[in-house]
């Protein structure tokens, strides 16, 4: 009897062990599935999706179907989402090639991005062009960060300028791109201008002149072409949904006064300015050779209008270290005081 009881107990223990073993193995399977899901987690926002789509389509020169893209990224279970992202990339200027396959996959679209079409060709400048760009970046700091990034991307050395106070001409970093976008989309804008006036404008374009940015277009209130200095716009710019047509013959250069025209009437106040020999040709192009009153070995003395004092200051600033106001004394003092005030404000 004792032997039978012992045998029954042993059999019961073995049966219990068999029942417990499957439960331990079963608890491990969900953990493995969970880990696998994390490794192929779907992107949650559009930016991540766009980057992944770019990576797949530029990986090599092969065309990929939507099924291929889905397999590689675990995205786009819904084709409409793929079409939206594809449209966004194309709006950004990224060329996406598409072909329709034949054979076993007849009628199926396949896509790729040719990297060569996304790359800029080398930009080569002459020595004179490089020097002009260096001087422009050094003289007119519309935004110092922009100027520095542009200089580095163009592989330009810093201009050889003497040490001393530099002038920064600030422009609201939000207004400039907003107005540029409105001009590109040909939609009307509204803004408050210096003096407290509300302006409604069909922006035809933007122009930098004399160290300042201007937005130029048709002023609906004045019913005429007007230009507005962007740094004199107060508050935010409102972009409307009203569209307009830009005249085909519109010339933005002619719509904004040239540097010479902005300085004032030639029969009004005149300043004598010492200009380096390197910059003399450009000054004579603006004002004519008659503006030269004296020629020196390494410079010329020119007579230029200065009735519009702010415009005259900007013109002198544009010549950087290549110009010095000689007379009249009150104009020279005005320039010196202005530069001192700017240096003290930094």
- The crossing angle, in degrees rounded to 10, of helices 144-153 and 127-139 is 160
Say what percent of the chain tops pLDDT 70.
66
pLDDT at 139: 53
- Do 135 and 147 fall into the same domain? yes
- Do 26 and 72 fall into the same domain? no
Per-residue confidence band for 254, with pLDDT thresholds at 50, 70 and 90: confident
pLDDT at 322: 83
pLDDT at 309: 78
Write down the pTM of the prediction: 0.36
Quick: pLDDT tens for 285-331: 778 888 899 999 899 999 988 887 777 877 787 776 788 999 999 99
Tell which residue, 257, 318, 256, has the closest CA to residue 282: 318
- How many angstroms separate the CA atoms of 279 and 292, rounded? 13
CATH number for the domain including 228?
Answer: 2.30.30
pLDDT at 44: 56
Tell which residue, 159, 166, 157, has the closest CA to residue 278: 159
- Do 273 and 321 fall into the same domain? yes
152 in any annotated domain = yes
- Do 341 and 272 fall into the same domain? yes
Angle at 304 between CA 195 and CA 265, to 5 degrees: 50
Tokens encoding 148: 């520095």
Task: Please say if the pLDDT value at position 177 is more than 90.
Answer: no
- Do 300 and 328 fall into the same domain? yes
Tell which residue, 218, 214, 222, 187, has the closest CA to residue 201: 218
162 or 140, which is more confident: 140
- Do 268 and 332 fall into the same domain? yes
Tokens encoding 313: 């200051």
- Can you point out the beta strands (E) in 29-186? 64-65, 97-100, 109-112
pLDDT at 60: 83
Burial of 210 from C-beta contacts in 10 A (0-12 / 13-18 / 19+): buried
Report the range of poorest mean pLDDT among 31-35, 193-197, 266-270, 305-309: 31-35
- How many angstroms separate the CA atoms of 179 and 279, rounded? 33
- Do 263 and 323 fall into the same domain? yes
Task: Please say if the pLDDT value at position 132 is more than 80.
Answer: no
Task: Please say if the pLDDT value at position 17 is more than 60.
Answer: no
- How many angstroms separate the CA atoms of 264 and 308, rounded? 5
Report the range of poorest mean pLDDT among 26-40, 53-67, 84-98, 237-251: 26-40
User: 3-class secondary structure for 153-191?
Assistant: HCCCCCCCCCCCCCCECCCCCCHHHHHHHHHHHCEEEEE
Which residues, 6 or more positions from 273, have their beta carbon under 8 angstroms from its beta carbon? 301, 302, 303, 304, 316, 323, 324, 325, 326
What total of structural domains would you count in the chain? 5
- Do 198 and 242 fall into the same domain? yes
Domain enclosing residue 22, as ranges: 1-33
pLDDT at 273: 94
pLDDT at 121: 63
Quick: pLDDT tens for 33-73: 333 333 344 555 788 888 888 888 988 888 999 999 988 88
Task: Choose one of 221, 255, 289: the last residue of a domain.
Answer: 255
């Amino acid at each position: 009897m004792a032997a039978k009881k012992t045998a029954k107990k042993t059999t019961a223990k073995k049966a219990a062990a068999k029942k417990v073993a499957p439960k331990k193995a079963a608890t491990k399977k969900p953990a493995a599935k969970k880990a696998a899901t994390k490794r192929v987690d779907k992107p949650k926002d559009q930016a991540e999706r766009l980057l992944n789509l770019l990576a797949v389509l530029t990986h090599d020169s092969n065309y990929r179907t939507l099924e291929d893209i889905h397999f590689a990224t675990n995205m786009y279970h819904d084709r409409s989402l793929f079409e939206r992202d594809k449209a966004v990339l194309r709006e950004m200027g990224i060329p996406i090639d598409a072909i329709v396959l034949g054979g076993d996959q007849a009628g199926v679209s396949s896509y790729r991005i040719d990297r060569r079409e996304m790359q800029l060709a080398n930009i080569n400048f002459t020595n004179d062009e490089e020097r002009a760009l260096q001087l422009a970046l050094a003289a007119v700091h519309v935004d110092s960060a922009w100027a520095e990034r542009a200089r580095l991307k163009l592989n330009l050395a810093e201009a050889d300028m003497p040490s001393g106070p530099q002038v920064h001409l600030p422009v609201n970093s939000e207004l400039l791109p907003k107005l540029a976008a409105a001009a590109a989309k040909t939609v009307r804008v509204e803004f408050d201008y210096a003096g407290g006036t509300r302006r409604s404008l069909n922006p035809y374009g933007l122009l930098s002149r004399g160290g300042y940015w201007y937005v130029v277009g048709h002023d609906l209130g004045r019913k005429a072409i007007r230009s507005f200095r962007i740094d004199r716009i107060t508050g935010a710019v409102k972009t409307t949904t009203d569209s307009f047509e830009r005249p085909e013959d519109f010339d933005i250069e002619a719509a904004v006064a040239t540097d010479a025209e902005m300085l004032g009437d030639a029969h009004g106040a005149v300043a004598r300015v010492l200009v380096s020999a390197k910059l003399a040709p450009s000054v004579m192009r603006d004002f004519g050779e008659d503006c030269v009153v004296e020629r020196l070995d390494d410079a010329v003395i020119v007579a230029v209008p200065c009735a519009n004092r702010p415009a005259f200051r900007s013109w002198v600033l544009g010549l950087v270290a290549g110009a010095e106001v000689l007379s009249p004394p009150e104009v020279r003092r005005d320039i010196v005081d202005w530069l001192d005030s700017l240096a003290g404000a930094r």
